[in-house]
């Protein structure tokens, strides 16, 4: 089956937000990036611009220029805007040293940050990743600066603080919990407990970085369905598909396309609200510059190649979404 309709149109007909996680520089400097994002995608997520480190160059100042550029673009082009992320243990400001604060001061510091940032974008951001990656790979709560100072209840507190100033849907977001795994069980238990305590959690974001190993689509389906049975919305929030450089398949573009197709079908059938990929084109993929990832994985994990040409993966997603 073929279609001459763009991704944004076919996804919209199926009630699915299809989006990209982006940074500010290509948005400002690359016309093809802006055009492709506006024409093909109906949702946008700032990759790092809304994280604490980039937002806060000094203790008493916020630099909102990059975040505003992305949010404004999304609003201008009638896109669903996802805020990412209010509370995370990484990408903290360089000047921030937790030992400069008492536990009570850290609690006040984090509450003020959530209130300031979420309140700043009231009515303009549709969903927030309130807490990002709070669960460790073994299923325990990750020991972070926030956990050490505030205890396990910092997760519940963050959602309550966000709900006080924002009308957005509030999400917990994590990796490694897309399919039925030990970590997914722990995330499920965490969210079930929060809901039992009337904490205002609306959804769960499953990152789905398929790097080397690709989570089984049927297992993803079962996992999405059980989160939905809790009453939560479910979104795929940072999807990309790359291969271990020591184990690249014979036809990587075809394998990549097949997996994107399977995930798109699962999203529709299991009732996901959004499918967001981790960049617009391969040229912008985080795998090309982040730590040791360029050495370990192929750097072409997205729907458009580095010249913004649609790849087989793009065609596969469009066809999956266009089918009745």
Q: Return the active site residues.
A: 133, 238
Strand 203-206 vs strand 209-211: parallel, antiparallel, or unpaired?
A: unpaired
Q: From residue 83, how far is each of 33, 153, 172, 189 by CA, in Å?
A: 20, 22, 12, 24
Q: From residue 266, how far is each of 3, 74, 193 by CA, in Å?
A: 20, 26, 26
Query: Is residue 79 classed exposed, middle or buried when 0-12, 13-18 and 19+ CB atoms within 10 A define those classes?
Result: buried
User: What gap in Å lies between CA 195 and CA 286, rounded to an integer?
Assistant: 33
Residue 155 near residue 190, CB atoms below 8 Å: yes
User: What gap in Å lies between CA 256 and CA 210, rounded to an integer?
Assistant: 10
């Amino acid at each position: 089956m073929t279609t001459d309709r763009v991704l944004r149109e076919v996804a919209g007909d199926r009630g699915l937000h299809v989006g990209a996680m982006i940074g500010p520089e290509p948005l400002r400097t690359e016309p093809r990036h802006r055009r492709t994002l506006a024409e093909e995608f109906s949702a946008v997520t700032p990759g790092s611009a809304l994280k604490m480190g980039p937002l806060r160059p000094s203790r008493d100042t916020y630099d909102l220029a990059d975040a505003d550029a992305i949010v404004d673009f999304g609003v201008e082009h009638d896109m669903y805007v996802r805020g990412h992320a209010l509370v995370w243990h990484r990408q903290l400001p360089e000047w921030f040293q937790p030992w400069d604060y008492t536990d009570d001061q850290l609690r006040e510091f984090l509450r003020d940050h959530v209130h300031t940032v979420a309140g700043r974008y009231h009515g303009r951001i549709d969903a927030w990743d309130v807490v990002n990656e709070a669960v460790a790979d073994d299923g325990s709560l990750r020991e972070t600066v926030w956990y050490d100072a505030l205890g396990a209840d910092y997760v519940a507190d963050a959602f309550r603080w966000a709900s006080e100033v924002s009308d957005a849907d509030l999400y917990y977001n994590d990796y490694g919990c897309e399919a039925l795994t030990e970590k997914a069980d722990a995330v499920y238990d965490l969210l079930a407990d929060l809901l039992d305590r009337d904490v205002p959690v609306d959804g769960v974001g499953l990152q789905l970085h398929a790097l080397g190993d690709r989570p089984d689509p049927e297992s993803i389906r079962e996992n999405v369905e059980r989160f939905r049975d809790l009453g939560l919305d479910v979104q795929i929030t940072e999807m990309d598909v790359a291969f271990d450089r020591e184990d690249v398949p014979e036809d990587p573009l075809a394998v990549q396309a097949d997996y994107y197709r399977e995930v798109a079908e699962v999203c529709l059938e299991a009732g996901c609200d959004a499918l967001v990929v981790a960049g617009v084109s391969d040229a912008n993929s985080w795998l090309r510059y982040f730590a040791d990832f360029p050495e370990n994985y192929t750097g072409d994990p997205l729907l458009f190649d580095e010249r913004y040409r649609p790849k087989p993966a793009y065609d596969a997603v469009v066809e999956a979404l266009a089918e009745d």
